[in-house]
Amino acid sequence: MKSQTVLTLIFLSLFKICLCENSDSNNLVKSPNGTIFYFAYGSNLLTRRLHLNNPSAVFYSIAKLKNHRLDFILFEELWQGAVATIVEDDEEEVWGTVWTISADKLHHLDKQEGVSIGWYFAKNVTLITPSGQQLVARTYEEVDNPKNKTASFDLPMERRPSNTYLEAIALGAIESRLPPEYIGFIFSFPTNGKMATKERRDQLGYPF
Ligand SMILES: *[C@@H]1O[C@H](CO)[C@@H](O)[C@H](O)[C@H]1NC(C)=O
Ligand SMILES: *[C@@H]1O[C@H](CO)[C@@H](O)[C@H](O)[C@H]1NC(C)=O
Ligand SMILES: *[C@@H]1O[C@H](CO)[C@@H](O)[C@H](O)[C@H]1NC(C)=O
């Protein structure tokens, strides 16, 4: 009986060691029941923008997406400029905010991102938070992503965001306290010099 207990203890401790060596899966955080994690990196960094279409969204954390870069393409009429996308890129990373969203409200997000009309597609990405937590979140990438990588400050005119759009991203990044270097990086993208339409500005209560 005694030796059985000892063996059991040895077995359990070995098992624990195995789990620990399996490392990161230990830190995988689940979203609360009935919700999913959503990763915002563009204008949805700005709370009031996200809440226009997704009032149930609750801020969870900032987080980093590895092996992707922030880029811009696809002229959007209301914004009067190109909108943000993520592009797979081993040399870069994208910072953003993680929100919990009711799973039954996901269609609002899909609608905003124009999934059914071929603007963006949804994908699951693994993120890491500043405290080392890992989580899987839904995010959106443009269907017609840029083919060419340029330095942020060399963004061609037709791919530049409007002043209002870049302001929304930058303000969202400041509001959610993304790393200072990343906020600086956002400001390194040139704009096309335009303002969003009055309709979009009024929706957002611009000036922010
Ligand atoms: C999650 O919530 C739903 C309804 O809100 C409930 O039916 C279900 O049992 C819950 N699941 C867990 C794992 O708590
Ligand atoms: C993301 O993962 C969830 C859970 O496994 C799954 O239900 C969902 O379809 C996935 N979404 C995408 C866009 O792949
Ligand atoms: C990509 O860059 C190359 C070289 O700068 C240029 O010739 C080409 O037109 C660019 N393609 C697109 C789609 O912008």
Domains in the chain, start-ordered, CATH in brackets?
24-202 (3.10.490.10)
| 30 close to ligand 1 (CB < 6 Angstrom) | no
Residue 202 pLDDT > 60, yes or no? yes
Decide whether any atom of ligand 3 lies within 6 Å of the 147 Cβ.
yes
Q: pLDDT by residue (tens digit) across 90-138?
A: 999 999 999 999 999 999 999 999 999 999 999 999 999 999 999 999 9
pLDDT of 84 reads 98
Tell the residue number behind the tokens 């098992």, with chain if given.
15
If one counts every other C-beta atom within 10 angstroms of the C-beta of residue 165, the result is 29
The residue among 121, 131, 10, 113 whose CA lies nearest residue 63 is 131
End-to-end CA distance of the chain: 71
Closest CA to 161 of 94, 84, 77: 84
Per-residue pLDDT, averaged over 187-197, amounts to 98
pLDDT single digits (tens) 142-156: 999 999 999 999 999
Q: Please report the pLDDT score of residue 14 as a whole number.
A: 52
| Model confidence pLDDT, tens digit, residues 39-76 | 999 999 999 999 999 999 999 999 999 999 999 999 99
Expressed in angstroms and rounded, the spacing between residue 9 Cα and the centre of ligand 2 is 38
Confidence of residue 27 (pLDDT cuts 50, 70, 90): confident
Pocket lining: 2 vs ligand 3, CB cutoff 6 Å: no
By the 8 A CB rule, do 206 and 174 touch?
no
Residue with CA nearest ligand 2 atom 1: 124
- Distant-in-sequence, close-in-space partners of 28: CB < 8 Å, separation ≥ 6: 133, 134, 135, 136
Query: Has residue 18 got a pLDDT over 80?
Result: no
Active site residue 113: yes
Residues in the chain: 208
- Evaluate: CB of 151 within 6 angstroms of ligand 3: no
Residue 19's pLDDT is 46
Whole-number average pLDDT of the chain: 91
> What pLDDT, on the 0 to 100 scale, is given for residue 91?
97
Beta bridge partners of 90: none
